[in-house]
Structures are given as structure tokens and as C-alpha cells.
Amino acid sequence: MRKRLVIGAIATVVIGVAAYVFSQPRKGTVEYHKQKYVEAVTLGAFGVWLKEHPVPDFVRNEYAGWKYRRMQFHQQSLVDARYLTQTVFVVSNRVAVIAGARLNLSSALSEADYRFTSLWDATTNTVAVLGPTHCMQIIAQTIRDSDK
């Protein structure tokens, strides 16, 4: 009887490990780069530890640079896969547009899509947007509404 329970427990563990391994996105896919991008923009356990403990500034700077390079790599991979699109909008008041658009986009987009959306000043009268390709219509409309 005990032998069957042990065999059943081992089989359950093996099946659980196999399910976990096969449920992970394959390297190079859009889902993989999305997951790694999110990991790169979040602080992580080591980042929290660096914040809470006295370490030299160069260590913090190296860690921040490493995280930034990882984020840039995965972001560019998502652009190359056409999951993300970069667009530049001409506006009349870029400061107000950026503030208003960020506020309105947080409610117009799903949390997952908003996580991949960023706005910044491109030049004097332009706002650059990097966001999911399938959300660009909503983003464009939100920027137009914020520019009025």
C-alpha cells in the first residue's frame, strides 16, 4: 500500500515538473520577450536588496545598466516581431498631452497593454509613443483628445 502511495507521489511530482517546463514560452517567441521585458522593468529581489543595503554606487549603477540593456534588448525584439510599434505624433502642447494621455491611457488600455506603452518628448512639438500594435488606434485617439 505504501509503495503505491510513494509511486503516486513521485509520478505527481514528475508530471508537475514536466507541466511547468513545457508551459514556459520558448526562447525567441513574442511571449518569451514579453515575459523577459516585464522582468527587466520590475525591480526584482536583488534590486530590492540593493535599495535596502549600503552598497557602493557603482554596484547600483552597474545593476541598473544591466537591467536597462536587458529591457532595451527585449523591447527591440518585440518591435522586430511587430508586437510593438513606435509612432511620433505632432501636437500643440506636448507637456499637457503627455500628462493627459498617460492618465487616459491607463483607463483606456488593459493593464497588460498599458505595461508595454511608453510616451516621451521627441522634439519641441512631438510626442513619441511605443506601444502594442493592436492598440495604436486607441493611443492615437487618446493623444488627439488630450491635445484639444
Residue-wise pLDDT tens digits, 55-103: 888 888 888 888 889 989 999 999 999 999 998 888 888 777 788 888 8
Q: Does domain 84-146 have CATH number 3.40.50.720?
A: no
Give the C-alpha separation, 102 to 99, whole Å: 5
Report helix, strand or coil for 128: strand
Rg (CA), the chain: 21
Give the model's pLDDT for residue 23: 61
Q: What is the pLDDT of residues 77-86, one digit of tens each?
A: 999 999 999 9
The grid coordinates of residue 18 equal: 514536466
Global confidence as pTM: 0.70
Tell me how far apart the alpha carbons of residues 102 and 108 are, in angstroms, rounded to a whole number.
Answer: 10
pLDDT of residue 78: 92
By the 10 Å C-beta count (0-12 exposed, 13-18 middle, 19+ buried), 124 is classed as exposed
Average pLDDT of the chain to the nearest whole number: 83
pLDDT of residue 54 exceeding 90: no
Confidence bin at 25 (pLDDT 50/70/90): low
